[in-house]
Amino acid sequence: MLSKKILIIDDEPDVVAYLTVVLESNGYKPYSAGDIKTARRLLKEIHPDLICLDIVMPEETGISFYVKLQQEKEFKNIPVILISGIVESEKFNFRSFVKDENVAPPKCYMEKPINIKNFIWNIEQLTG
């Protein structure tokens, strides 16, 4: 069985390293990008099964990148877990960031620090 490919997009090296270890130890194949430009290149190269996307990124926000993904036929069906240290998960309201009703909210939102059990459970659910 091929390992599911997970693309981690986060500008914090500690978070990337941590999630990489967690994913590898749970049988996933992690890839990482520290910025949106690298993420775009990797997206086209690897066609991940799931994306873990930090909201606060340099140059372009994770939300802006997510909206663009949703507008591309090739990538719009890739499940996305939005990750942030800013908004608590029960207070996260996607519509306060994106008013366009044509853009579906991400499949999952998680706050930092990441609860590993919930993280892996969500990935299992989203990658089937």
User: Domain 5-127 classified CATH 3.40.50.2300?
Assistant: yes
pLDDT at 1 over 90: no
Q: Angle at CA 122, nearest 5°, toward 38 and 118?
A: 110
pLDDT single digits (tens) 32-68: 999 999 999 999 999 999 999 999 998 899 999 999 9
Helices (H), the chain: 13-25, 36-46, 62-70, 116-127
Give the DSSP letter of residue 105. P
Backbone dihedral angles phi then psi of residue 119, each to the nearest 5 degrees: -60, -50
Domain ranges of the chain: 5-127
Does residue 65 sit in helix, strand or coil? helix
Structure tokens at 2: 């091929």
SS3 at position 39: helix
- pLDDT score recorded for residue 85: 85
Q: pTM of this prediction?
A: 0.95
Interval 60-106: pLDDT, tens? 999 999 999 999 999 999 999 999 988 777 888 999 999 999 999 99
pLDDT at 8 over 90: yes
pLDDT above 80 for 2: no
Give mean pLDDT, residues 104-118: 94
Residue 108 binned pLDDT confidence (cut-offs 50, 70, 90) = very high
